[in-house]
Amino acid sequence: MNMMPYHDAEFDFDAEILEQGELISDKLNMLRLEQYPPNAMKGLRQFSSVEVADFLGVTQNHIKKLHLEGKGPAPDVSSSGRRSYTAQQMLELRRYLDKHGRSDFKRYVPHRRAGEDLQVISVVNFKGGSGKTTTAAHLAQYLALTGHRVLAIDLDPQASLSALHGIQPELDKNPSLYEAIRYDEHKKPIKEVIRSTNFPGLDIVPANLELQEYEYETPLAASNKNSTEGACSSRAFRPR
């Protein structure tokens, strides 16, 4: 069998990988610009009065009565009389009910009592394809629609949760969670990394491929006897 000789000196594997990666990135960016203009933003559908009543915990008739009396935000009304509200209007309606609602001490806007800790919910599974991102996204969006202030933190270098909310870190060049946990002098406060989403009340700390670097940098930082960095790589962020 004749074997083709392999000339290592004539082929720079690392340079080829970088070149192909840049080419793929450019092609993806071109496709994105064709489909989505630079100023495009991810939107959110409107919600029917039935959905609004369910999220607010009131009856549909109560929503209808408020509209007929000119109270609260004005919804879009179709030719058949169907009322629909944006997510922002639903939040405004919730605040209106909190201010002008019944006197039974019911709160329509969720809030923390004095001394009550921030609730932290983690969606974790070491198995791929187990629905972590889908679960986290649906849970965060539902909590936001029910009036809670939510901060989602994307810990996956693939950044699928970020992409679901219209954020493409590799293309948009946005800072990610890595900026807040890196070990060098370029580390930023996590508040500077938070981005708003198309869901009112839901913000996100995006991820990107740089998060992979954290896995390699942490053992090096932990082995440095002159530094306390990396001593505990499990951190709870409570910026809000």
Residues 212 and 134 in one domain: yes
Find the domain containing 202 and state its range: 130-223
Residue 52, H or E segment: helix 49-56
Whether 37 is in a domain gets the answer no
Q: DSSP letter at 12?
A: -
C-alpha Rg value of the chain to the nearest Å? 24
Residues 134 and 78 in one domain: no
- pTM of the full structure: 0.77
- Distance separating alpha carbons of residues 14 and 211, to the nearest angstrom: 21
Residues 156 and 78 in one domain: no
Q: What is the pLDDT of residue 235?
A: 42
CATH of the domain at 201: 3.40.50.300
Average pLDDT score over residue span 89-118: 84
Q: How many domains does the chain have?
A: 2
- Distance separating alpha carbons of residues 207 and 178, to the nearest angstrom: 7
Residues 171 and 209 in one domain: yes
Residues 142 and 92 in one domain: no
For residue 200, give the nearest of 93, 97, 89, 88 by alpha carbon: 88
Q: Phi and psi for 47 in degrees, rounded to 5?
A: -115, 140
- Work out the mean pLDDT of the chain and round it to a whole number: 85
Residues 82 and 146 in one domain: no
For residue 217, give the nearest of 169, 174, 181, 167 by alpha carbon: 181
Residue 39 confidence (pLDDT) above 70: no
Q: What angle do CA 7, 8, 9 make, to 5 degrees?
A: 95
Residue 57 confidence (pLDDT) above 70: yes
CATH of the domain at 62: 1.10.1660.10
